[in-house]
Each structure stands twice: as C-alpha cells, then as structure tokens.
Amino acid sequence: MSDSSCWLPLESDSEIWQSYLECLGVKNDSLQFIELYSLDYDSLKQTSEEYPNIFGCIFLYPDISTKQQEKDENDLKFDVWFLKQINTLGNACGLIALLHCLGNNLNRIDLIPTSLLSNFFSKTSKCKSGIERANVLVNDENIRSCHVKYAQRGSTEAQNDHVEFHYVAYTIVNNSLVELDGCKEKPYIICQNLKDKNKFLIEVGDIVKNKVNEMNGDIRFSLIALATK
C-alpha cells in the first residue's frame, strides 16, 4: 500500500492532464480540455455552442473548507460514481476530480481495453461506497506511479504536505447537475431536470461566481471543461 506522500497535487494545466489521462488509458486525442477565462453568460453560451460535447468541469480554488458550512444533505435517487478522498490519498484531489468526470461518463469516454483506467473502473464498478473505491485507488501501484510522474511536471514544485488549493468536479448524471467533492461524504445535487445540456456551462458558471463571492472576490481559481472530440 502506498502512503499519502505518494499522491502529490496536480498542477492545473490542461496539457499535463491530457498526457496524464492518455498514460492512464484514455485513447490518444479523444478528449479535449477547454480553459474558461470568462464567467459571463454570453461567453459560456458561445463556448457551449462551440464545444457541444462538453461533459464535465473541474474547478480549482483556494481551500476554504474550514470557513464554509456544509451543504444541506440531499438524498440521491440514482447512482453516482463517487470516490472519497481518504487520508491515504494525500493531495490527490486533482486526480479524483478527473476520475469523477470520467467515471460518470464512461459511455462517452474512449478507453483502451485492459488499460489502467479500464481495469480501475471495472474493479470499482463492484464497489458499494466511495471509501471502497478510494481503497482500490490507494492499492493501485500502476496508477500511483503514473500519478507521481505527471504530478512532478509543471511550473510549480510538487508538495506532499497540505496545499492551499482544492479541486471539485461538476457533471451531469441522470439529467441532474452534480457536484463531486472527494472531501465531502457524498455527491451533492445542484439542480435537477437539466435536460438542456447547453445550459450546463452556464449553471456551472453561476456556481463558480457564487463561490468567488464567498471568497470575498479572491480570483485565484481556474475552471476547465472536458469534452469528447
């Protein structure tokens, strides 16, 4: 079993993420990452029209969990692929956010058969909780080795102690916009009956704007969308 120091933080860099996921088993050049620089309605609407196959968003922001109140719990009426960020996963929230986007959209992702991700999702499909899935990840030495390789890339030196920033994923499951935060106990439904997929980015943009307001206007954040080609 690996210790938490093996799970270093990922830099928010779409090129690193692209190479990392391809190392894990996503078919080369089958995904694209769109960095969102504006949260205004017209810009997000235009991006949605330009990239109609967007299926997830990953938000990086300063970790203010100690200042925020937990959201009211809501009962999930459908299955959501969720992985808990247990202590032995260290600073793996970036990887966990990527897995949350992929794991809830496997019908749209082109995985290479018998690849690391294909095997991982096959194993975790039998798990009954986010903690069980976390333990599968902790014990996957091949994914861990790949993670260490790509976490050490980028302009920021990788750290194995507490980091200031945190990743959260957003995707649509069963026509519901869901927030997936591995540090929470379970997924959180933002809104239901989101049948118009073109409104996904606009809804996520509103969520991010609210979070920025909670951070007193702190603009140290990034928002990256994932889409199939």
Mapping DSSP onto H, E and C, the string for the chain reads CCCHHHCCCCCCCHHHHHHHHHHHCECCCCEEEEECCCCCHHHHHHHHHHCCCEEEEEEEEECCCCCCCCCCCCCCCCCCCCCCCCHHHCCCHHHHHHHHHHHCCCCCCCECCCCHHHHHHHHHCCCCCHHHHHHHHHCCHHHHHHHHHHHCCCCCCCCCCCCCEEEEEEEEECCEEEEECCCCCCCEEEECCCCCHHHHHHHHHHHHHHHHHHCCCCCCCEEEEEEEC
Catalytic residue among 57, 100, 101, 166: 166
Catalytic residue among 93, 100, 146, 147: 93
Residue 93: active-site member: yes
Distance CA 204, CA 225 (A): 10
Residues annotated as catalytic are 93, 166
